[in-house]
Structure 1
């Protein structure tokens, strides 16, 4: 497969996933869609660590854009160097993206395991932390949180989305890391394809 086409495909997928992560992290800041709970006393630490915004979002946006550019026409506009320079930049960007996605995965995983910070019997705290994630399988426990309203399903849904998105980001960044490395040494095959078509004509 052409390294340029692969890079473009991976890059567009990464950009889509990073936007999903940013939106999911933004929604975590407003439990049940209500801004009245957006302060450090009512939201869990994992929400404020911004794993989706920083890690799965901005840190993955860079390799996404770099991959799309690596799948472009080339450094000089006509692919004279086989896009090797852009592919080299994409190698380093992809490694950076893997780190960001791992950060997002770690924070989101911890958020799922510890559960949300909520009010039970007049006390704010991480009431599901000692269950080591077992509360995820027992929905009757979810109703124990008095405030913020519906915070447990809200957090579980969004953190699960972040876990899934960050796992895909790690895979895609890894694919682009290999693809870009091949592109550095072999160049973009599309230039060769154009020449082959010209000879046929």
Structure 2
């Protein structure tokens, strides 16, 4: 079933993206590879939302594995017919895809909010969010990044990793939406084939 092969391909891509999101989120806890800022709780608030580890990472593993195993899944031969079983499995994958959209959507929203607010850093002797009211203009004006004295290069670190998470989660959403369409078409077409076979047996 070509729909199952398509789902399997999407599943493998989602698995890779989920691993990358987990890695990117973990790196946010260690600016420049230093652990003291996490221990002192001097990290941006959105780092603690686990959006890459949870939303686009662990949650995304569910639809990824469902899609990967979809080609061989037949719901134990639903209605006594393997083809009908595959149709049921394809329709069931839509639910998994919706879960994936929710997880990736959470990651995308948190990443966007983090980029708008900017990093938590030492500025003029105080820890605060120096770019919180800049309406993200700081992203274009690199000369303002020197306002953050500590952690060193924290603006580059946060902007890079949150942008990566934003991009990866957007790709995940697109792939899950493709699988929703693939699952619906595969399920409906499979159901129609099953119905035709049933009618032919009656004749």
Q: TM-score, normalised by structure 2?
A: 0.86
**1:87-130 CA deviation, whole Å, 9 max, x = no partner?**
23311010011011111000000111111100011100111111
Query: Offset of 1:163 from its aligned partner?
Result: 0.6
* Structure 1: distance between partners of 2:44 and 2:183: 38
* Structure 1: distance between partners of 2:72 and 2:111: 34
Query: Offset of 1:45 from its aligned partner?
Result: 1.1
Matches within 5 A, 1:45-56: 45-56=45-56
Matches within 5 A, 1:140-151: 140-151=143-154
Query: Offset of 1:79 from its aligned partner?
Result: 4.6
Contact 1:28 / 1:158 at 8 angstroms: preserved in 2?
A: yes
For structure 2, the 5+ residue unaligned runs are 192-203
Residues 19 and 79 of structure 1, relative CA distance in 2, 3 Å threshold: farther
Moved more, 141-150 or 36-45: 36-45
* Structure 1: distance between partners of 2:136 and 2:40: 22
Find 1:83's aligned residue among 80, 83, 86. Answer: 86
Contact 2:73 / 2:89 at 8 angstroms: preserved in 1?
A: no
Find 2:116's aligned residue among 102, 113, 117. Answer: 113
Equivalence for 1:61: 61
Equivalence for 1:127: 130
* Structure 1: distance between partners of 2:75 and 2:9: 19
* Structure 2: distance between partners of 1:59 and 1:90: 15
Equivalence for 2:198: none
Residues 83 and 113 of structure 1, relative CA distance in 2, 3 Å threshold: same
Query: Offset of 1:64 from its aligned partner?
Result: 1.0
Please give the root-mean-square deviation of Cα atoms over the aligned residues, in Å. Answer: 1.9
Contact 2:25 / 2:52 at 8 angstroms: preserved in 1?
A: yes
For structure 1, the 5+ residue unaligned runs are 189-201
* Structure 1: distance between partners of 2:137 and 2:71: 45
Equivalence for 2:194: none
